Every structure is written in structure tokens, then in C-alpha cells.
Amino acid sequence: MKIKISADLLDGLVLALLERKDYYGYALTQDMQAVIEISESTMYPILRRLQKNNYLTTYDQPFQGRNRRYYRIAPAGTQHLEQIRKMWVNYKVSLDNILLGEAKGKHYG
């Protein structure tokens, strides 16, 4: 069984990897696939959307006679990533409270 990942969480995962280093698309997809199931046909629309929203910048670098397009996190992307991280912490705590029974509130028993 797979748990579906929201667009916000996918954006956060991509931005978190790009916070560490610049990536070209194929390498980014490979590193994402080490953690979640994602195809290149899913990854490139995410990258285009993040770039359109000014969260990423791109540059080309020659490699074996061809250009590779690299993606770099932009300052707005860093800010957006911090918002996603805050949302993730709140979301994770809420899910853990229910799934793992970590809360003993009025409605949890």
C-alpha cells in the first residue's frame, strides 16, 4: 500500500533537497525515488511549477557535449520551504496523535 503525497509535501521534499545542493532533473528524480515513488513525468511539472512561482532558478552547464539544466533554490523557495516545514510538524503531530495514540485528549480516550 502506498500513502499518497500531497503537492505541498512534494514541493517541500524537492526544495529540501535543493537546499542542500543544486541538481539537474534526472539526478533529483533519482534521489527522490530513493525515498518515495515518483516518476520523471511527475517531477518535471513540479520543477516547472516551483520555477514559475519563483521558488527555483535554473542554469545550464555543459556535460559531455550537451547542456544539463540545473535547479537552484531561490530565496523565496527557502521561505516557502520553512512554511512547509512548519505545516509538516503540525500535520505530523496531529496524525501521530491519532495513528499512534500519543494524545489523551477529550476525544482520543
Q: How far apart are CA 51 and CA 45, in angstroms?
A: 10
Centroid of chain to Cα 57? 15
Q: What percent of the chain has pLDDT over 70?
A: 92
pLDDT in tens, 78-95: 999 999 999 999 999 998
Place 15 in a pLDDT band, splitting at 50, 70 and 90: very high
Place 45 in a pLDDT band, splitting at 50, 70 and 90: very high
Cα first-last separation, the chain:
28
Q: Which three cell numbers stand for residue 31?
A: 534521489
Mean pLDDT of the chain: 91
Place 1 in a pLDDT band, splitting at 50, 70 and 90: low
Q: Which three cell numbers stand for residue 14?
A: 524537492
Beta bridge partners of 57: 72
